[in-house]
A and B are shown apart, each in its own frame.
Chain A
């Protein structure tokens, strides 16, 4: 059974560009959350989606947006990239997202902004 899959694994972008990161949850999981992990720090919550609806948003600017599709996969979009957006972007899936147990993380997308 496949775990949480994220694509691409690595990405290099130039300042001002736009990026789309993708996540496929574990089969049967309906909730997807996105986290940003800057080097040397713990992951920080960006978004949570459940049944295609945004359930929560962290303290990130409007340049960050996301959506969840009918098959429960998700995209994270970041516009007008800044150097400070360089980080590991993690996706986590869970059955419902209503409880905090049962979250499984993917291996992340390493984004480098130059």
Chain B
């Protein structure tokens, strides 16, 4: 089955610095990946997604990079702000009989210091 893992459970950065959150996935057939942000007491909030036919996708202050060769994706947050403090999850889609299911990693706690 699919599994998604994260390299670091916690990340602390200073306000204004760039943040990079990494994620490894195991299913080479996965073709769709999503990054979610989860603040305390809330459900996961969509940040950005990427399909396997792309290597990079940019949003507002966020960039997702996908390296299919090593089955790795990363989330880059530019000019990190205190409001970015949250747990970040990568998730991959199910395929075939598991289409419609999201498989989440454990999450990385991002803390932004003023």
* Least CB separation from A6: chain B residue: B43
Size category, B interface: 20 to 34
Q: Is A41 in contact with B101, judged by CB distance below 8 angstroms?
A: no
Are A41 and B102 in contact, with the CB atoms below 8 A? Answer: no
Contact A33 B100, beta carbon cutoff 8 Å: yes
Q: Are B49 and A101 in contact (CB under 8 A)?
A: yes
| B-chain residues with CB within 8 Å of residue A43 when the two chains form the complex | 44, 89, 102, 104
B45 within 8 A of A: yes
Chain A proximity of B101: nearest CB distance (Å): 4
B-side interface residues toward A, CB under 8 Å?
A: 4, 32, 34, 36, 41-46, 49, 89, 91, 93-94, 97-107
- The 7 A-B residue pairs with the shortest CB-CB distance, nearest first, are A42-B104, A105-B43, A100-B93, A45-B101, A105-B44, A107-B43, A97-B100
